[in-house]
A and B are shown apart, each in its own frame.
Chain A
Amino acid sequence: MTDATDSELKQPPFSATPRREAAGAPPAAGDLSDDALDAMLRATAATIRLAIPPDCLAGVRENLRAIIKTAGALVEPEAPSHRMDELAPVYRA
């Protein structure tokens, strides 16, 4: 289990600079203003028939910022072609 509300997750879990940021890519949603992020959250929630109770919005926003920051540490360097990953089911004879 995770506790993504922990403040540790507001920082990358280790010191390496997120690779995409190092490559000069646009900032992730973690850098959006509260208002912009709230608008995005509400719009996204509507697409999956989910209503965010108003009293939960701040907590959801905080958790999403935390997960985006954590995930930032997992971004691979931009490359012209990715190596073949096995995310789809592969049948081996």
Chain B
Amino acid sequence: MTASAHALAASVQAGRQTASQAVEASLARIAASDARINAFTRVTSERARKRAATLDRRLAAGERPGPLVGVPFAVKNLFDIAGETTIAGSRISAGDPPAQRDATAIVRLEDAGAILVGALNMDEYASGFTTENSHYGVTRNPHDPSRLAGGSSGGSAAAVAAGMVPLSLGSDTNGSIRVPSALCGVFGLKPTYGRLSRAGAQLFAESFDHIGPIAGCASDLALAYDAMQGFDAADAVCAPVAPDPVSACADSGVGGLRIALGDGYFARRADARALAVAMDVARALGTTLRADLPEAERGWAASLVITLIEGSSVHLPRLRTRPHDFDPMTRDRFLAGALAPAELYLNAQRARRRYREAALRVFETIDVLITPAVPFEAPPIGAERIRVAGESMNPRGMLGLFTQPISVIGLPALVVPILSDDALPRAVQLVAAPWNEAALFRVARALETAGVAGARITGNRA
């Protein structure tokens, strides 16, 4: 089960294989691989087989169920799945009643013909960059199981990188789609804040929680993103903007786009290889422009403060009643956030607003900013310190150095894995102005077709 989603859907629609065969291939791959990776916390085999059988009947009747027909996908276990408990990586929520209905994102992917096959591991309540989950175990990097897959959507990226599913969903507050996508060598999209409905997903820091797809190629990412677009009244921040499909325009090239390589904040505190890869990408795109986001450092600090305080508020009832059922690191962090003075939060919000205004001015002069996705390659599991650019860092906090200043102001960003001879994946982050996801996909596809970018999927591609 390692074919791309678009190739698989074309094959199923053409009758070269059935949706049931596609699902069985995915389930077999999960059975064979997941003991090594620990990406899945639940495999919804029965639901998947029923859904596949229904699709096969529709196909036999001459219907065209959608652009993702027969494509197996899985979701971070903070998305509601009807009849399943939404555990959000926690022991506490494992005792909650089953969800009554599917999250909006699942409904929309299935409306496009996709088939849900399971739920994926994550950091507890999305608070972390490593998926070292004390309740459900660590998710391992498919390219080196002694290394981190990243987080908090670690299961979502690892499942795609290990070829268990061609498509998954994650959530991203500070980099939780982008960091694991980069470490696992797959494509990941965090759209503009408000673009995709979060209804039916467990929130973490509400003012910058996003959801988005992870896939093995830019075309699959575009198909999934397009399928999920559209207003949803069930999410108060889902914007009433018309869908802006990108699948059709992704191959239109980069002509006319003003592309700049990250400078200043985005050109330091990373290892030399991460910076060199970003520079190589800029060179491949023929750009010599450089740009920085003024006050990005303050944006990073603001994201830390706001996340901690908003996240603590979400979990205050559980902190009151079941503090010892949290992961100890998460618990102490949330307790501190619950007790932080209001002035810290308001100052962080003011700093965030000023930073956003400054950043938006930059995007009046450029269309796409290229930055390293993460400052270093996937660290060993359990590493407490690593040395980067002459600085000793705790990798757990620093993985979000380049992603946090982007999501805190809601800009769309796409992580593109770069082909190289490196032992572990390397990736860049593409950033654009609000609502300009199309520019990101044009650049990602241009890099892919030029042979610069491509996912690393373990096992053979069909």
Chain A: residues with CB nearer than 8 A to chain B?
A: 1-9, 12-14, 16, 29, 41, 44-45, 48-53, 56, 59-64, 66-68, 70-71, 73-76, 85-87
Contacts and interface: CB of A to CB of B under 8 A. Distances in A.
B54 to A, nearest CB: 37
Given A5-B333, A14-B301, 7 more contacts: A2-B304, A5-B329, A49-B320, A50-B319, A50-B338, A70-B304, A73-B297
Given A13-B300, A50-B338, A64-B339, A3 B333 contact: yes
Which of A16, A62, A74, A75 neighbours the largest number of chain B CB atoms within 10 Å of its CB? A74
A4 B152 CA distance: 15
Contacts of B174: 1-2
Nearest to A69: B301
B173 A1 contact: yes
Contact of A67 (B297, B323, B331, B344): B344
B301 A2 contact: no
Interface in B366-409: 393-394, 396-398, 400, 404
B29 interface: no
Interface stretch (B183-191, B349-357, B414-422, B449-457): B349-357
Contacts of A6: 394, 396-398
Contacts of B337: 4, 63, 67
B303 interface: yes
Central interface residue in B151, B305, B348, B396, by most chain A CB within 10 Å:
B305
A61 B339 CA distance: 10
Interface stretch (B112-120, B125-133, B227-235): B125-133
Nearest to A53: B323
29 contacts: A1-B123, A1-B127, A1-B176, A2-B174, A2-B304, A2-B307, A2-B404, A3-B129, A3-B396, A4-B304, A6-B394, A6-B397, A9-B304, A13-B297, A13-B304, A14-B301, A41-B339, A49-B320, A51-B323, A56-B323, A59-B329, A59-B335, A60-B332, A62-B336, A64-B340, A73-B301, A74-B301, A76-B350, A76-B351
Interface of B is mostly: helix
A5 B331 CA distance: 11
Nearest to A42: B339
Contacts of A53: 323-324
A2 B332 contact: no
Nearest to B179: A1
B303 A56 contact: no
B7 interface: no
Contacts of B308: 2, 4, 63, 67
A75 B347 contact: yes
Contact of B320 (A2, A50, A66): A50
B350 A85 contact: yes
B304 A67 contact: yes
Given A67-B305, A71-B347, A1 B152 contact: yes
A71 B348 contact: yes
Residue of B126, B151, B302, B336 with most partner-chain A CB within 10 A: B336
Contacts of B173: 1
Nearest to A12: B301
B285 interface: no
Contacts of A87: 346, 349-350
B108 interface: no
Interface of B: 123, 126-129, 151-152, 173-176, 204, 297-298, 300-305, 307-308, 316, 319-320, 323-324, 328-329, 331-333, 335-341, 344, 346-351, 353, 393-394, 396-398, 400, 404
A4 B333 contact: yes
Contacts of A29: 341
B336 A64 contact: yes
Contact of B338 (A7, A12, A48, A59): A48
B160 to A, nearest CB: 20
Contacts of A41: 339
- Nearest 9 A/B pairs, CB to CB: A59-B332, A6-B397, A63-B336, A71-B344, A14-B297, A3-B397, A74-B351, A64-B336, A6-B394
Contacts of B336: 4, 59-64, 66-67
Given A1-B128, A3-B396, A3-B397, A52 B335 contact: yes
A68 B129 contact: no
Contact of B397 (A8, A14, A16, A49): A8
B371 to A, nearest CB: 17
Contacts of B328: 56, 59
